[in-house]
Amino acid sequence: MKKPLILVTNDDGITAPGLRSLIGYMKEIGDVVVVAPDSPQSGKGHAITIDNTLFSAKLVVDKEKGAPLEYSCSGTPADCVKLALQELLDRKPDICVSGINHGSNSSINVIYSGTMSAAIEAGIEGIPAIGFSLCDYNWDADFSAAEKFIKSIVKKALKNGIPKGVVLNVNIPQAKKDDIKGIKICRQAKANWKEKFDKRTSPAGRDYYWLTGEFLLLDKGEDTDEWALANNYISVVPTQFDLTAHHAIQGLNEWGLN
Feature table: binding site: 11-12, 42, 101
Omega before 234 cis (within 30°)?
no
3-state secondary structure 128-193: CEEEEEECCCCCCCCCHHHHHHHHHHHHHHHHHCCCCCEEEEEEECCCCHHHCCEEEECECCCEEE
**Residue ranges at the known binding site for a divalent metal cation:** 11-12, 42, 101
Q: How much of the chain is helix, strand and coil, in % rounded to 5?
A: 30, 30, 40
Distance, in Å, from the CA atom of 94 to the CA atom of 80, rounded to the nearest integer, reads 17
Distance, in Å, from the CA atom of 88 to the CA atom of 83, rounded to the nearest integer, reads 6
Distance, in Å, from the CA atom of 125 to the CA atom of 232, rounded to the nearest integer, reads 33
CB 147 within 8 A of CB 197: no
